[in-house]
């Protein structure tokens, strides 16, 4: 009896042991089968790197942007000019109002008519911007300093590059940033090379100009009393043109990131020449008796700077090399006789915008009138 019970227990023990072994083997096999899948999943998660390219903007931010940018929001007019120059104008889907006003730019790039105005006075209208589904935004430095505006873009994971400059070197770097973002590095380098060559050429031509022959110039930026301060782009390119810029080093009012003089100050400076870069300002100065006592106005040495794709030499324009050529030729013809300005203009737009312009168009560019639509039109 005891022996039988012992054997029964022994048999039960072996059966249970066998069952445990079989189950454990099945679990092990299943684990081995699942392990590669889990391992592959873990490796995939660890090795997954966001696709795109890293671009460093004017603020020194490293930004991951798509490999191919096909829809661009130019929320700084300068970026729209450069994007068009780089041959990507048809990719612009959102703009600031100023880009709609540049007539030559819109003739060259008719697709701007369909671009949405998504920014006004630095404020981004995010609902309108989202409708345009941009791959990349070029944002003006002033807007990028407004936390509320940056938060709008970051909330919806819209990649943006800040574009800002105050000097010629920084402007050339800004062109390089935009060119890199749009995969147009070679074209950007070509433009900057021309920019540098133009500066060197004018410096060389005016190097023998005696200090006492330098012309005293007042530069009107947009409004009649808005002008240049030291450390600004216009101050630098006018220095290349060997002029004495009367507002440099003077006490100016600073408002909305712009510099202003008073009419009393301008009378104290009494410039020999006034250069205006906003259409109609030259006519206003020449016809307004409040300005009539100035030497430049009396002698009718008040000039409208040319306007092409944008206003030449404007802080937010890209045709600075042409502004340098025009100013040197206009003020110092005896030193710049080798420069054929009409030919320079024709070659510039052919080379960088792939357009052939006739003599009539050159005359309109040089005159400047009617090249920009009035605000609100």
Tens digits of per-residue pLDDT, 33-82? 544 555 455 444 444 456 899 999 999 999 999 999 999 999 999 999 99
What's the pLDDT score for residue 18? Answer: 47
- pLDDT tens for each residue of 136-165: 999 999 999 999 999 999 999 999 999 999
Q: Give how far Cα 235 sits from Cα of 12, 196, 228, 301, 320, Å.
A: 101, 17, 6, 20, 12
Segments making up each domain of the chain, as ranges: 53-189, 209-367
Sheet holding 72-75, edge to edge: 116-117, 92-95, 72-75, 136-140, 160-163
Q: Answer for the pair 225, 260: CB distance below 8 angstroms, yes or no.
A: yes
- pLDDT tens for each residue of 269-283: 999 999 999 989 999
Residue predicted with more confidence, 373 or 89: 89
- pLDDT tens for each residue of 278-317: 989 999 999 999 999 999 999 999 999 999 999 999 999 9
* Averaged confidence pLDDT in the chain: 90
- Name the band, by pLDDT with cuts 50, 70 and 90, for residue 16: low
Pick left, alpha or beta for residue 313 (phi over 0 → left; psi -120 to 50 → alpha; otherwise beta).
Answer: left
What's the pLDDT score for residue 7? Answer: 43
Q: Answer for the pair 156, 150: CB distance below 8 angstroms, yes or no.
A: no
Residue with tokens 């450069």: 82
What's the pLDDT score for residue 155? Answer: 97
Residue 245 scores a pLDDT above 50:
yes
Residue 11 scores a pLDDT above 70:
no
What's the pLDDT score for residue 13? Answer: 47
Q: What is the pTM of this model?
A: 0.86
What's the pLDDT score for residue 375? Answer: 80
Q: Is 124 helix (H, G, I), strand (E, B) or coil?
A: strand
**Domain 209-367 has what CATH class?**
alpha beta
Tell me the two tokens of residue 92.
Answer: 């612009």
Residue with tokens 């500066």: 199
- Name the band, by pLDDT with cuts 50, 70 and 90, for residue 374: confident
Q: Answer for the pair 179, 188: CB distance below 8 angstroms, yes or no.
A: yes
Second CATH level (architecture) for the domain 53-189: 3-Layer(aba) Sandwich (3.40)
The phi and psi torsions of 68 (rounded to 5 degrees) equal -120, 120
> Is the fold of 53-189 the same as that of 209-367?
yes
Tell me the two tokens of residue 375.
Answer: 């605000």
DSSP H stretches of helix in 182-294: 185-205, 233-240, 263-269, 281-287
């Amino acid at each position: 009896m005891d022996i039988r019970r012992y054997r029964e227990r022994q048999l039960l023990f072996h059966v249970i042991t066998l069952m445990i072994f079989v189950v454990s083997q099945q679990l092990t096999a299943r684990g081995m089968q699942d392990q590669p899948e889990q391992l592959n999943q873990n490796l995939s998660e660890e090795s997954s790197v966001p696709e795109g390219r890293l671009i460093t903007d004017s603020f020194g931010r490293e930004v991951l942007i798509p490999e191919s940018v096909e829809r661009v929001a130019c929320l700084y007019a300068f970026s729209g000019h450069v994007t068009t120059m780089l041959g990507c104008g048809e990719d612009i889907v959102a703009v600031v109002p100023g880009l709609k006003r540049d007539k030559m730019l819109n003739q060259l790039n008719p697709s701007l008519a369909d671009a949405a105005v998504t920014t006004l006075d630095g404020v981004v209208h995010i609902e309108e911007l989202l409708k345009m589904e941009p791959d990349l935004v070029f944002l003006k430095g002033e807007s990028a300093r407004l936390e509320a505006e940056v938060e709008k873009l970051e909330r919806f994971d819209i990649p943006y590059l800040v574009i800002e400059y105050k000097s010629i070197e920084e402007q050339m770097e800004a062109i390089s940033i935009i060119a890199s973002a749009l995969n147009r590095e070679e074209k950007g380098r070509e433009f900057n090379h021309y920019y540098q060559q133009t500066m060197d050429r004018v410096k060389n031509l005016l190097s023998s100009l005696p200090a006492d022959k330098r012309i005293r110039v007042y530069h009107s930026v947009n409004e009649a009393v808005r002008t240049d301060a030291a450390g600004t782009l216009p101050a630098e390119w006018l220095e290349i043109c060997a002029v004495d810029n009367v507002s440099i080093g003077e006490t100016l009012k600073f408002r909305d990131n712009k510099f202003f003089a008073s009419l009393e100050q301008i009378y104290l400076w009494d410039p020999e020449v006034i250069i205006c870069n906003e259409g109609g300002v030259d006519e206003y100065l020449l016809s307004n008796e409040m300005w009539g006592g100035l030497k430049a106005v009396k002698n009718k040495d008040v000039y409208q700077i040319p306007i092409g794709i944008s206003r030449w030499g404007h802080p937010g324009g890209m045709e600075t090399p042409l502004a340098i050529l025009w100013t040197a030729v206009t003020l110092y013809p005896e030193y710049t006789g080798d420069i054929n300005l009409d030919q320079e203009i024709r070659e510039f737009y052919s080379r960088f915008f792939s357009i052939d312009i006739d003599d009539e168009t050159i005359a309109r560019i040089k005159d400047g009138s009617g090249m920009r639509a009035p605000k609100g039109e």
